[in-house]
Amino acid sequence: MTSGRARPAVLVARRVFPDVLAGLQRHFEVEANDTDEVWSPEELRQRLQGKAGALTTGSERISAELLAACPDLRVVANMAVGFNNFDVAACTAQGVLATNTPDVLTETTADFGFALLLATARRLTESEHFLRAGLWNRWSVDMFAGAEVHGSTLGILGMGRIGQGIARRGAHGFGMRVLYHNRSRLSPATEADCRAEWVPKADLLAQADHLVLVLPYSAASHHAIGAAELALMKPTATLVNIARGGIVDDEALAHALRTRQIAAAGLDVFEGEPTVHPELLALSNVVLTPHIASATLPTRRAMAQLAADNLVAFLVEGRALTPINPDVLTRVG
Ligand code: DGY
């Protein structure tokens, strides 16, 4: 319990678990978003007035303009490993600590990446819709025949912790040959553990039977997969995106799926989500999920708790657990 001085005020921008909120209320004056509606930038700005900290999700954009209009803000704790909703340079310039939630979601998200890969390759949702529509009246030799997963070539673009988790599942669980491309190569020991081989991006695209995208979104990774990259892929290939919308050019992907330039895609993230490109919605060779790769209750709880713990660590103890811009700590420390 913080005592003696006025307690700092914090904003919790989306609904979180009641016990996580109660933990914050032991230290802070808390304004919470009970409706769980996504606030407009203007409403977020208004609610941040007088707040020293904010617990945000990927839906809240922490821009330079917002930071300039919220002079009391000292820390923004994102309940996500990705932080492309933060202008990190502006946070640092204004002395605002930014934190995220790495590690606690790695294995859960890798599980989901593999689930989406399997569902896409083996045409799970397409065949289920067929059955539910009452169209199944006989067994047929090639009905919903999909792509082989075991023994095939798994390509991973972006080889951080989640990419490594997917590589291990592919190599050790499904006997896949694992290729990856990343700006920096893994250490030989980690490559051996993942049984993964670094290749240039063009080779990855050309050789993968299943290509999984796990790279962070930035200006550099915008449309990392567009028409030119899709043209390099096998016509039998599947593409899985669990990273961020904007890494794939959804318009180009819809075209590639419609013209069978690639066989299928599994998408958990979209450009402009929660709006989904109408052509993707109309295609049967794409599995669509609403940004749920980290969504198990234990993992979402761990993410919320870590974000809350970052607020407490910084505002009460002057430290941070998982800082994105640790320079701010040395400046305020
Ligand atoms: C992440 O942690 O970045 C996920 O996408 C959150 O939903």
Over range 56-73, report the average pLDDT: 98
Measure CA of the first residue to CA of the last residue in the chain; give whole Å: 21
Nearest CA to ligand 1 atom 4: 80
106-288: CATH, from 3.40.640.10, 3.40.50.1220, 3.30.1300.10, 3.40.50.720: 3.40.50.720
Over range 9-32, report the average pLDDT: 98
Over range 57-68, report the average pLDDT: 98
Q: Annotated catalytic, 244?
A: yes
2: pLDDT strictly greater than 50 = no
Nearest CA to ligand 1 atom 2: 80
Ligand 1 centroid from CA 58, angstroms: 7
The reported pLDDT for the residue numbered 91 is 98
Over range 300-308, report the average pLDDT: 98
d(CA 125, CA 287): 7
Local confidence band at 331 (pLDDT 50, 70, 90 cut-offs): confident
Q: pLDDT tens, 152-188?
A: 999 999 999 999 999 999 999 999 999 999 999 999 9
The reported pLDDT for the residue numbered 4 is 59
Segments making up each domain of the chain, as ranges: 9-102+297-332, 106-288
Output the six-digit token pair for 317: 């103890």
Ligand 1 close to Cβ of residue 294 (< 6 A): yes
Same-fold call for 9-102+297-332 versus 106-288 = yes
Q: pLDDT tens, 235-286?
A: 999 999 999 999 999 999 999 999 999 999 999 999 999 999 999 999 999 9
Long-range own/partner contacts, residues 181-189 (CB < 8 A, 24 or more apart): 181/155, 181/156, 181/157, 182/157, 182/158, 182/215, 186/159
Ligand 1 pocket mutation, candidates 101, 292, 294, criterion most atoms within 8 A of CB: 294
Percent share of the chain, pLDDT over 70: 98
Ligand 1 close to Cβ of residue 113 (< 6 A): no
Amino acid (one-letter) located at 167: A
Beta 286-288 vs 264-267: how paired, if at all? parallel
The reported pLDDT for the residue numbered 333 is 59
Q: Annotated catalytic, 291?
A: yes
Over range 81-96, report the average pLDDT: 98
Q: Let me know if 227 is exposed, middle or buried by CB neighbors in 10 A (0-12, 13-18, 19+).
A: middle
Ligand 1 pocket mutation, candidates 57, 86, 104, 105, criterion most atoms within 8 A of CB: 105
Place of tokens 């009641």: 18
The reported pLDDT for the residue numbered 321 is 98
> Is the Cβ–Cβ distance between 200 and 229 less than 8 Å?
no
Ligand 1 centroid from CA 190, angstroms: 24
Radius of gyration of the chain (CA): 22
- CATH code assigned to 9-102+297-332: 3.40.50.720
203: pLDDT strictly greater than 80 = yes
122: pLDDT strictly greater than 70 = yes
Q: How many helices (H) and strands (E) does the chain have?
A: 15, 12
Q: Judge if pTM exceeds 0.85.
A: yes
**Pure H helices in the chain:** 18-25, 41-47, 64-68, 88-93, 106-121, 124-132, 161-168, 174, 188-194, 201-207, 227-232, 250-258, 278-282, 297-317, 327-332
Ligand 1 close to Cβ of residue 216 (< 6 A): no
